[in-house]
Chains A and B, each alone.
Chain A
Amino acid sequence: MTPSASIAEKSASEMNPGLATGERVRSGAKPPFLGFGLGLRPQHYNDILDGDPPIDWFEVISENYMIPGGKPLQMLERIRERYPVVMHGVSLSIASTAAPDYEYLTGLRDLARRVEPKWVSDHLCWTGVHGKNLHDLMPIPYTRESLDHVVDRVQLVQDFLGREIVLENVSTYVQFANPEMTEWEFLTELSRRSGCWLLFDVNNVYVSAFNHGYDPYTFLEGIPRDRVVQFHMAGHTHMETHIVDTHDHPVCDEVWDLYAAALKRFGAVSTIIERDDHIPPLDELLVEVQKLRDIAAEVLPESGEARQMERGS
Chain B
Amino acid sequence: MSDFQRLQDEFQRCIVSGDDSVLDKILDSPKEKRDVLFGVYRFAYSSRLVEALSNDHPFLHTYLGDEMFDEMGKAYVVAKPSHHPNLRWFSQGIPEFLRANKPYSDHPEIYELADLEKALNDVFDATDGDVLAIEEVAAVPPDSWNDLRFHPHSTARRFDLTSNAAAIWIALKNEETPPDAEVSGEPSRILVWRQDNTPMFRELTAEEGMMWDEAAAGIPFGVLCSMLATYDDPDSAAGRGAGYLRGWIESGLLSGISIGS
B135-180: which have CB < 8 Å to A?
Answer: none
Which single member of B5, B27, B127 contacts A174 (CB below 8 Å)? B27
B3 touches A211 (CB 8 A): no
Mask, A32-44, CB within 8 Å of B = 1, is: 0000000000000
B16-45: which have CB < 8 Å to A?
Answer: 16, 24-27, 29-32, 34, 36-38, 40-41, 44-45
Q: What residue of chain B has the Cβ atom nearest to residue A140's Cβ? A: B4
B8 touches A211 (CB 8 A): no
DSSP majority for the A interface? loop
Given the complex, which residues of A lie within 8 Å of B26, measured CB to CB?
174-177
Task: Quote the shortest CB–CB distance from B220 to chain A (angstroms).
Answer: 29
A242 touches B12 (CB 8 A): no
Interface residue B57 (Cβ < 8 Å from any Cβ of A): no
Given the complex, which residues of B lie within 8 Å of A130, measured CB to CB?
9, 12
Q: How distant is the Cα of A69 from the Cα of B9 in the complex, in angstroms?
A: 35
B32 touches A241 (CB 8 A): yes
Given the complex, which residues of B lie within 8 Å of A128, measured CB to CB?
12, 82
A213 touches B124 (CB 8 A): no
Given the complex, which residues of A lie within 8 Å of B127, measured CB to CB?
68-69
Q: How distant is the Cα of A241 from the Cα of B32 in the complex, in angstroms?
A: 6
B85 touches A242 (CB 8 A): no
A244 touches B48 (CB 8 A): no
DSSP majority for the B interface? helix
Given the complex, which residues of A lie within 8 Å of B41, measured CB to CB?
136, 138, 173-174
Q: How distant is the Cα of A138 from the Cα of B8 in the complex, in angstroms?
A: 9
Task: Quote the shortest CB–CB distance from B91 to chain A (angstroms).
Answer: 12
Interface residue B88 (Cβ < 8 Å from any Cβ of A): yes
Given the complex, which residues of A lie within 8 Å of B76, measured CB to CB?
none
Mask, A114-126, CB within 8 Å of B = 1, is: 0000000000001
Interface residue B126 (Cβ < 8 Å from any Cβ of A): yes
Q: Which of the four size classes fits the interface of chain B?
A: 35 or more
Q: What residue of chain A has the Cβ atom nearest to residue B27's Cβ? A: A175
Mask, B198-219, CB within 8 Å of A = 1, is: 0000000000000000000000
Interface residue B230 (Cβ < 8 Å from any Cβ of A): no
Interface residue A104 (Cβ < 8 Å from any Cβ of B): yes
Interface residue A302 (Cβ < 8 Å from any Cβ of B): no
A135 touches B29 (CB 8 A): no
Q: How distant is the Cα of A240 from the Cα of B29 in the complex, in angstroms?
A: 13
Interface residues of A (CB under 8 A from B): 63-64, 66-74, 91, 93, 96-97, 101, 104, 126-136, 138, 140-141, 143, 145-146, 149, 173-177, 211-213, 240-242, 244
21 contacts between A and B (CB under 8 A): A63-B85, A63-B86, A67-B88, A69-B127, A70-B128, A71-B125, A73-B125, A129-B5, A129-B9, A132-B82, A135-B49, A135-B87, A136-B41, A138-B8, A149-B4, A175-B29, A177-B25, A177-B27, A242-B29, A242-B32, A244-B40
**10 tightest Cβ-Cβ pairs between the two chains A and B:** A213-B30, A91-B85, A69-B128, A241-B32, A70-B125, A97-B5, A67-B125, A71-B197, A133-B82, A68-B127
Interface residues of B (CB under 8 A from A): 2-5, 7-9, 11-12, 15-16, 24-27, 29-32, 34, 36-38, 40-41, 44-45, 48-49, 52, 81-88, 90, 123-128, 194, 197
